[in-house]
Amino acid sequence: MSESDLIPLPAARVTRRRRISVIWIIPAITLLIAVWLAYQTLSQRGPLITITFQSAEGLTAGQSQVRFKDIPLGTVQSITLAPDYTHVVVAARMNRDAERLLTDQARFWVVKPRLFAGNLSGFETILSGSYIQILPSTKPGHSARHFAGLEDPPVLQSDIPGRTFLLKADRVGSLNPGSPIFYRGLDVGTVLGWDLGEMATSVTVHAFVRAPFDSYVHEDSRFWNASGASVSLGASGVQLNVESLRAVLLGGIAFETPKEALNTPQASENEVFPLYADQDAANSAQFRRHVSLIAYFPGSVSGLAAGAPVTMLGIRVGEVTSVDLRYNREKNTLEVPVHFVVEPERIAFSAEALKRGPLANAQILVNHGMRAQLATANLLTGQQEIALVFLPNAGPAKVTTENGALVVPTAPGAFSGITQSAATLLDKINRMPFQEIGDNLNATLAGLNTMANGPALRQSLASLQTTLAAAKDAIQKLDEGAGPALAQLPVIARELQTLLGRTTSLVGAADQGYGPNSKFYRDLDRLLLQTNDVLQSVRALSDLLTEQPNALIRGRSGGAEQ
């Protein structure tokens, strides 16, 4: 093959182009992701809020979250100390979704392991760490960015339907936030807390009752403190009344609505009710009429205190309101006025006496012997009560008034009478001349000692010993002489038995010959009858001669002469 046969090849032309390296794809994608994340972050970024707490225990900047129903709504960015060093300021960046929840009604608190309101909570934070919980309000409010955090979580942490009522009390007692509220033994609500503004005069307790139980709260409903346990001693023995174990630990409140109050309107939100000390006080509140009385008891009133019962014929009709000690300027003495109230509505059909008035009714009762008397209500504790008793031999007394209250007469109590009798007996015992009695007894004993150790007594004892020896010899001789006579006793007994048999036969023969059925007895009976006739004739003659001595010569008067 020659060179001419070869086909010339075209010349290669090199063109230079700039190409992007594949390695740049990764940074580009990363940049796009970063831009997207930044956009997402900026688009979801919400406001920056500040929350103040007493301490930042359990919180960590950049890690601790703000949650609602376990959904993260923000993150803590910084934790700083306040300028006055009294609290800490927590700055948290919130999400855009949380912006509508940030009103001035929202509440924040730190979730951590704690025991609150009788419940253990926050144990999940042992591993995950503490976080801030937000509780938005269902009520409308204004947008806010600065909040004061709660040191303890709120009692109600969800939107539970129900109503809150205000209970006025003299003291809180053992009530706590979270204390249960009972209705017929059921847990139907909880205590939210109390107001501090009016604590100089009273305490206002906020009581929340869940639906539908809040519909049973009417205007005439009664609330009382059901904390702890009560012990009563009655005819059936000792009774322990406990509302619930939770009420014993945290305190509690119970309420009830009388049947006649169910027709009244339901109580509205934040309606005010009095909080009674116990159920007895709540039951007494249904009696609207009260009569104030005063009694001045002689002697000590130890064991009598405010709240003690007032009874009439053993049935409670009121209670003691106060027991005071005061100085009487007119008498220049100290006296103890006992103020108590009587509720006439506790007495059936007492409305018929209402028109007479309390003073007239009290005077009528006093005229019938009514007196106020101290009585022992509990032997174990020494508590006393006032008993309105009717004494059969009570003297006349008049009921007076003092500052609008009726002053009723009093009588010493039964125990006081026993004490007075014992004191009188002890006084008589103290007056006995024990020294003189002792001296006389010593003198008598000395005389007996002299007599016992004197020669006369020794001679008497010697003579008695001689006499006893002689009596012993006589008895011994009598025993020796009576031996033969005792040996003849069986023979004598047989002879007496034979004689008794013969006597029986003789008595039988006499009864047969001269008994009631014998001829001798019948003849003797006829002789006695004839003798009786003769004696009657002689008696008639004797009577005639007594009346007419000359009858033997002239005969009977009125007859012919003989």
Do residues 224 and 251 make contact, with C-beta atoms less than 8 angstroms apart?
no
Question: Is residue 343 within 8 Å of 287, Cβ to Cβ?
Answer: yes
pLDDT above 80 for 375: yes
Q: Which of 26-40, 320-334, 425-439, 530-544 has the lowest mean pLDDT?
A: 530-544
Q: Which two tokens stand for residue 396?
A: 């006349």
Residue (of 335, 308, 342) closest to 322 by Cα position = 308
Judge whether residue 196 has pLDDT over 60. Answer: yes
* Residues in contact with 98: Cβ distance below 8 Å, sequence separation at least 6, in sequence order: 46, 66, 68, 73, 74, 134
Name the least confident of 123-132, 144-153, 452-461: 452-461
> Where does the pLDDT of residue 52 fall: very low under 50, low under 70, confident under 90, or very high at 90 and above?
very high
pLDDT bracket for residue 231 (50, 70, 90): low
User: Is residue 340 over pLDDT 80?
Assistant: yes
Return the percentage of the chain with pLDDT > 70, whole number: 68
Given a cut of 80, whether residue 405 has pLDDT beyond it is yes
Return the bridge partners of 291, or none: 342
Rounded Cα–Cα distance for residues 190 and 253 (Å): 8
Residue 433's CB is within 10 A of a number of other CB atoms, namely 9
Reply yes or no on whether the pLDDT at 29 is more than 80: yes
Per-residue pLDDT band at 559 (split at 50, 70, 90): very low
Average pLDDT score, the chain: 78
Alpha carbon distance 440, 445 (integer Å): 9
Q: Residue 149: name the closest of 58, 23, 276, 242 by CA.
A: 58
- Please write the tens of the pLDDT for every residue from 4-19: 565 666 666 666 656 6
What does R_g of the chain's alpha carbons equal in angstroms? 59
Q: Give the containing element (helix H, strand E) for 149.
A: none
Task: Return d(Cα 136, Cα 104) in angstroms, integer.
Answer: 9
Range name among 114-123, 211-220, 256-265 with the lowest pLDDT average: 114-123
Q: How far apart are CA 346 and CA 512, in angstroms?
A: 94
- Segment of 22-26, 160-164, 478-482 carrying the highest mean pLDDT: 160-164
Residue 66 pLDDT:
92
Highest mean pLDDT (candidates 255-264, 366-375, 476-485, 487-496)? 366-375
Name the more confident of 246 and 299: 299
Q: Work out the burial of residue 125: count CB atoms within 10 Å of its CB; fewer than 13 is exposed, 13-18 middle, 19 or more buried.
A: middle
Q: Are 340 and 319 in contact (CB under 8 A)?
A: yes
**Mean pLDDT on 100-107:** 88
Q: What is the structure's pLDDT at 90?
A: 94
Structure tokens at 45: 């970024």
For residue 278, what is the DSSP state? S
Q: How many CB atoms within 10 Å of residue 312?
A: 18
Residue 255 has pLDDT above 50, yes or no: yes
Cis peptide before 212 (omega within 30 of 0): yes
Q: Which segment of 32-41, 236-245, 457-466 scores lowest on mean pLDDT?
A: 236-245
pLDDT at site 557: 58
- The tokens describing 24, both together, are 């740049």
If one compares 517 and 344, the residue with the highest pLDDT of the two is 344
Sign for the CA dihedral angle at 386, 391, 395, 396 comes to positive
Is 253:234 a contact under the CB 8 Å cutoff? no
Residue holding tokens 């059901």?
226
The span from the CA of 330 to the CA of 336, in Å, is 15
The pLDDT value recorded for residue 223 is: 92
Out of 3-17, 40-54, 116-130, 405-419, give the one with best mean pLDDT: 40-54
Q: Give the C-alpha distances (Å, rounded to integers) separating 514 from 522, 525, 528.
A: 9, 12, 15
pLDDT computed for residue 246 by the predictor: 60
d(Cα 503, Cα 411) in Å, to the nearest integer? Answer: 85
Residue 560 has pLDDT above 50, yes or no: no
Among residues 75, 59, 155, the alpha carbon closest in space to that of 111 is found at 59
Token couple for 280: 């007895």
State how far the Cα of 97 lies from the Cα of 73, in Å rounded to an integer. 7
For the record, the structure tokens of 46 come out as 């919400």
Q: Residue type for 411, please?
A: A
Longest pairwise C-alpha distance within the chain: 250
Q: Would you call 139 helix, strand, or coil by DSSP?
A: coil
The mean pLDDT of 124-140, rounded to a whole number, is 83
Q: Please write the tens of the pLDDT for every residue from 465-518.
A: 777 777 777 667 666 665 665 566 666 667 667 766 666 665 566 566 555 666
Least-confidence region, from 52-61, 374-383, 510-519: 510-519
pLDDT at site 488? 63
202-226 in b/e burial notation, b at 16+ Cβ within 10 A? ebbbbbbbbeebbebbbebbbbbbb
Residue with tokens 């005010």: 272
Strand order in the sheet with 71-81: 107-111, 131-135, 65-68, 71-81, 88-95, 45-53, 146-148
> Which range has the top average pLDDT, 3-12, 19-28, 232-241, 247-256?
247-256
pLDDT over 80 (residue 212): yes
Secondary structure of 492-532 as H, E, C letters = HHHHHHHHHHHHHHHHHHHHHHHCCCCHHHHHHHHHHHHHH
Confidence tier at 561 by pLDDT (50, 70, 90) = very low
Q: What does the pLDDT look like over 425-467, one tens digit per residue?
A: 667 777 777 777 777 777 777 776 776 666 766 777 677 777 7
**Is pLDDT at 235 greater than 60 in this prediction?**
no
DSSP class per residue in 362-383: HHHHHHTTEEEEEEES-TTT--
Q: Three-state SS for 269?
A: coil
* Range with the poorest average pLDDT among 63-72, 339-348, 375-384, 449-458: 449-458
Return the bridge partners of 91, or none: 50, 78
